[in-house]
Structure 1
Amino acid sequence: MPVTVVSPLMAPPPVLTPKQILVHHSADDWEEFVYEWVEALREARYVDVVGMGGSNDRGADIAAFLTAKKTDGPWHCFQCKHYDKALVPSAAYPEMLKILVAVAEQEYRVLPERYVFVAPKIGGSLKQLLAKPAELKAAFFESVAKPGNKLTTDYDEATLHRALQLAHKTDFSCFEAANLDRILEQHATTPYHVRRFGTPLPNRPAVPAPPSEHSTGEARYIQKLLDVYGERWGCATHYPDEARAHPKAGRHLQRQREAFYCADALRVFARDSVPVGTYESLQDDVHTGVVEVEERDFTTGYDRLNAVLDAARDMQLGANVLLSCMKSNDRKGICHQLANENRLTWFQEEEL
C-alpha cells in the first residue's frame, strides 16, 4: 500500500527565533530595534531617549538622558553595530575615540556615564577587555600609538592630543557591551515586540466588571442610550436611575456597559502590547464597516442601534494583530466607544 510522504518542499517554513531574525536586519533596522529596547527602559531610568544616529552622529547612535540637562548632565550612550561577524576590539576602538573627540571638542559637555556597544555578536576578545577596564585602556592606547594605523587619520594633531588627554583621565569601566538575551527579554515587554518578531500576543487579562456608578468617561454614549430608552420604553432621558430600574432598559444598559468596558480593557491591553495606533486602526476598521449601516433610514433609534451592533458582530475585519485575542463583546463595545467619541449616533439629526 503506497504511503504519502510530505516532501521538504511541502513542509512549512521553519520559524525563525528573534535572534535569527535580528541577524538579517539591516543596520538601520538594528538601530531601530535598539531604540525600541532603550525606550523600554525609559520609564524606570531615563527622562528622555533620542536617536542620534547618522553620518554625523558624533559617537552616539542613541542617547538616553538621566536628567533634563541631557548631554550636559549624566547620560548614557548606546552605539549600534551590526556586522556579519562578531564585534572585535579593532572595530570598537574607533568608536571609543570618536566619543572622546566629541567631548574634547565640546560637542558634548561630558562623557556618558555608560557607553554601551550593542551588537548581535560580541567577540570573545572584546568581552574579555571590557571585563578588565585597565587592560582595555592600555590596549586602546597601544592601538592608537601603532605607526601607520588608520585609527587616528581622521583627526588633526591638536584634536587628537585633546582627546587622548581626556582618555588618560577617563575610567574605561564606562565602556561595556549589552547582552542580547537580556535585550530580547526586556524588548519582549514592549509594544514593539509582536510587530518586529511576529510572536504571539501575551495572554489578555480578565475583563473587569463595570463600576456600579457611571463614570464621566461614559457620559456621551450612555446619554445616547438613554435617548433610545426614552423613545423605546418611555424612560426619562436625563435620569439613568430610571433606565436602570426598568426591567428591559436596565438589563440592556448593563450589557452595553459590559461591552464598553470589555473594549476599554482591550484598548489598555493594546497600549501595553502592540505599537501605538494598532487599537485605533481596529476602531477605524469597525467604523468603516458600520457607518453606512448607521446612515440608513430607520424607524427608531433602537432599530439603528441594533442594526449597527449586528453589523459589527458579523463584519469581516482585516489583519489587525489584535484580532487573535478579541472577545465577542469587544466589537459591540467599540461601537459604544465610537458613539462616545461622536463618531456614531443612534438618532440622526433629521429624526430628532
Structure 2
Amino acid sequence: MPPTLTPKQILVHHSADEWEEFIYEWVSALKEADYVDVVRMGGSNDRGADIAAFLTLSKTDGPWHCFQCKHYDKAISGTVAYPEILKIHSAVAERQYKVLPERYVFVAPKVGGSFTQLLAKPSTLQTAFFEWADKNATKLAQEYGEAPLKRALHLAGQSDFSRFEAGNLDRILEQHSTTPHHVRRFGTRLPDRPAVPAAPADHAPEETRYVQQLLDVYHEKWGCSPNAPDEARAHHKAGPNLQRQREAFYCAEQLRMFARDSVPEGTFESLQSDVYSGVSEVEEDDFPTGYARMKAVLAAARDMQLGSNVLIHYVKPEDRKGICHQLANEDRLTWVQEEL
C-alpha cells in the first residue's frame, strides 16, 4: 500500500479554489467567533477580502473579519501581503467597505518566518509597508490613481496594524477536524460513534406517525386498539415488538445525529435513500397482513447491500430497521395498506 498523505500534504496539492473552499469550511465552523454569517467574496474584484465573516447583521458596515487566502508553492512574505494590505485600505477609503475589518487573517499553507516576525510587531509591519509603498510609488499611482492612492495611504497611516495576522495551519486543521467536511476532504476516520441511548419510556411527538403505523399493525394482527398505546404495550406480543421497533428507531436517530456532526450534509439522507430503494419494492408486494409486510421489509433492510456510503462501517443492524421506521414516520413506507 502506498503511504497515506497527511492533511498538510494533501493541502499542498490543492488548487487555489480548493484552498479557499477549505478555509471557508474552517471559518464557517469557528464556533467561538459567533459569526452571524460567512460569505466567500473572492474573485478578480474581491476588494481585499476572499472570505468575510460578519459579527453583526450590519455585515461589512459593522464589525467583521477578513480572511485572505493565498496558496503558493513558496511561503508567503511581506511582498505578497503588502499589496493586499493596500487593497483593503483602498476599499475602505473609497467607501467600498464602510469600516476596516477588526481582524485581517492571511491564510496560506506556508508562512515565511520573516513575515511571521513582522506580524508580531505591528508598528514594524506598518513601517515596512510604507517603505514598500514608497519604493513602488510610481507603479501604484498608475494602478490606483494618485488621489485614491493618497487616500488609501492616509488611512493606512491611521490604521492599527495589529489587525493583520497569519492563520496557524496546525490549529486550522485541528478545528477543521471537528467539522463534517474533514472526512470528505482528507479521507480520515470518523470519530467513534457514541453509545446508543435507550428509547425513552414516553413516546415523543416526533414518533407519532411511525408509532401509529405500528398500532395499526397490532390492531390488525392481535386486535389491540389503534388509539391506545398502553393497550399495545401491555399485550404479551405487541408490547415487546413495539419496544424493539422503538429501540431501532432511536438507534437510527442517533446515527442521524452522529452523521450531522461528522460527515457532509446529505450523507445520512443518501443512506436513507439507499435503504428505501432496496425495500420499496418489497413493501409493494401483496401480504396477508401489515405485520407480514413490515417483517418482510425489515428483513430486506437487514440483508441488503448498502453501496459505498461513508457511514457503512458505522451502521448497526438496528439502524437498518430504524431507518425503515424513519421512512414510515414520513409515510414513505406503509405497513397496513387498504386493498384497492
Q: 1:168 to 1:278 in 2, by over 3 A?
A: same
1:278 counterpart = 2:294: no
Q: 1:48 aligns with which of 1, 12, 37?
A: 37
* Distance in 1 separating the partners of 2:284 and 2:139: 71
* Distance in 1 separating the partners of 2:140 and 2:262: 44
Q: Contact 1:51 / 1:61 at 8 angstroms: preserved in 2?
A: yes
* Distance in 2 separating the partners of 1:149 and 1:240: 83
Aligned to 2:300: 311
* Distance in 1 separating the partners of 2:338 and 2:147: 76
Cα RMSD over matched residues? 1.1
* Distance in 1 separating the partners of 2:128 and 2:78: 9
Q: 2:163 aligns with which of 151, 157, 174?
A: 174
Q: 1:17, CA displacement in angstroms?
A: 0.3
Map 1:113-262; keep pairs closer than 5 Å.
113-147=102-136, 150-151=139-140, 153-262=142-251
Q: Number of paired residues?
A: 340
Q: 1:188, CA displacement in angstroms?
A: 0.4
* Distance in 1 separating the partners of 2:30 and 2:140: 33
Greater alpha carbon shift after TM alignment, 39-48 vs 168-177? 39-48
Q: 1:149, CA displacement in angstroms?
A: 6.4
* Distance in 2 separating the partners of 1:43 and 1:281: 31
Q: 1:197, CA displacement in angstroms?
A: 0.4
Q: Contact 2:105 / 2:164 at 8 angstroms: preserved in 1?
A: yes
Q: Contact 1:94 / 1:151 at 8 angstroms: preserved in 2?
A: no
1:24 counterpart = 2:13: yes
Greater alpha carbon shift after TM alignment, 257-266 vs 41-50? 41-50
SS of residue matched to 1:154? helix
Unpaired segments of 5 or more residues in structure 2?
A: none
Q: Contact 1:191 / 1:274 at 8 angstroms: preserved in 2?
A: yes
Counterpart of 1:23 in structure 2: which amino acid?
V
1:268 counterpart = 2:268: no
Aligned to 1:3: none
* Distance in 2 separating the partners of 1:164 and 1:14: 50
SS of residue matched to 2:143? coil
Q: 1:84 aligns with which of 54, 64, 73?
A: 73
1:61 counterpart = 2:50: yes
* Distance in 1 separating the partners of 2:157 and 2:32: 34
Q: Give the TM-score normalised by the residue count of structure 1.
A: 0.95
SS of residue matched to 2:39? strand
Q: 1:350, CA displacement in angstroms?
A: 2.0
Counterpart of 1:104 in structure 2: which amino acid?
A
SS of residue matched to 2:4? coil
Q: 1:151, CA displacement in angstroms?
A: 4.9
Q: 1:259 to 1:43 in 2, by over 3 A?
A: farther
Counterpart of 1:164 in structure 2: which amino acid?
L
SS of residue matched to 1:116? strand
Q: Contact 2:24 / 2:51 at 8 angstroms: preserved in 1?
A: yes
Q: 1:152, CA displacement in angstroms?
A: 5.1
Q: 1:174, CA displacement in angstroms?
A: 0.5
Q: 1:125, CA displacement in angstroms?
A: 1.2
Q: 1:106 aligns with which of 90, 95, 111?
A: 95
* Distance in 2 separating the partners of 1:28 and 1:247: 62
Q: Contact 2:61 / 2:97 at 8 angstroms: preserved in 1?
A: yes
Q: Give the TM-score normalised by the residue count of structure 2.
A: 0.98
Counterpart of 2:55 in structure 1: which amino acid?
L
Q: Contact 2:47 / 2:88 at 8 angstroms: preserved in 1?
A: yes
Cα deviation code 1:252-300 (max 9, x no counterpart): 0000000000000000111111111111111011000000000011111
Cα deviation code 1:154-205 (max 9, x no counterpart): 2100110100010000010000000000000000000100000000000111
Q: Contact 2:140 / 2:149 at 8 angstroms: preserved in 1?
A: no
Unpaired segments of 5 or more residues in structure 1?
A: 1-11
Aligned to 2:315: 326
Q: 2:281 aligns with which of 292, 301, 306?
A: 292
Counterpart of 1:234 in structure 2: which amino acid?
G
SS of residue matched to 2:311? helix
Q: 1:55, CA displacement in angstroms?
A: 1.2
Counterpart of 2:147 in structure 1: which amino acid?
A
Counterpart of 1:331 in structure 2: which amino acid?
R
* Distance in 2 separating the partners of 1:163 and 1:282: 54
Q: Contact 1:72 / 1:108 at 8 angstroms: preserved in 2?
A: yes
